[in-house]
Structure 1
């Protein structure tokens, strides 16, 4: 999972990043509305952790921005503004959940995982596609009941492919999703090819079909029609 944290308290931001990255969540951060909008126009995120009280405005403006730009992302509001009106307005404007401050980091993680399960995995930790099954809680993949020995990046790559099946995904988009937005400055993305190659080999050796197809000059596509 890749998230954007929009929070102007540097200590809280660092605490969230340290904890969530330890739970295999890729975190990018900004501290104001302007930088948040720039990030959202340039990169994709599974979820946004959004503070309402920001130095250059109300975080609810981000919800309007997401709606107007037709961006595909989920939003978890975190804020000390815990009145019922603020909570209802945030949810009414399109947020997926609301977590009042102060909160335990373990609850933040649980809320993020719940949002991800609902929006991407049909409400379950289990994702099954033909002979391939993924357990996002255990970070485990089985192909025809054979457990694959995958790295964390290979697991995330397979999950990214399956949840975006039938879509052509560029190498740059894959790199940004798995390694962070800093990859935008890289000259090439040859390392993506190596990870895709390793993943395809491991699935094939376990008796699985090769659903990952190369789209030359662009990237890759997870093709469900392969048999």
Structure 2
């Protein structure tokens, strides 16, 4: 009887979840915000926990799934009809790179550090921050970018130009701290880095939010006040 109870509750839970996801639409998967992610986890847990609790019957499973589904549905309706509720429940996009400059204050507000920003940019085939004109952190945590015009998709082959080997840009300063591993790769020392930083107008390492080396180009430096 125990196995029969489990299989019956499993089938009922399966169809309840199937119907509920159909009613709620595709946002549970395709536009997964943090709130959507948590709601999906809770929804699955309601059914999963019920399968192993003998005191919870089919009626309680259906009731729990229906009640949670109504809450989520009400939330979806509220976000569709009210911009105020939408920004509170789903969040709003944040322009964390504006006209090629990192907005450091907004970066901190979004709980995002420079290493995470670099990872997101690499996911968009941007290996150097200097290539990015705008970067928008979407409400679901993804990054949308616009490259600077000189780094657009036109290739040297399109223009019958000779090609050059690609080089990997390396961050030498993050949050006012030297990245010593990268410094060794480019065969620089702290004194050389300090000199190069001062050439750009910064007072010293601690004044620099981000500094990037790229072979054949000047050191790219952004001071903290540049993105504010």
Asked if TM exceeds 0.5, the reply is no
Q: Normalized against structure 2, the TM-score is what?
A: 0.28
Q: Structure 1 or 2: larger strand share?
A: 1
Q: Structure 1 or 2: larger helix share?
A: 2
Q: Normalized against structure 1, the TM-score is what?
A: 0.28
Higher radius of gyration, 1 or 2 = 2
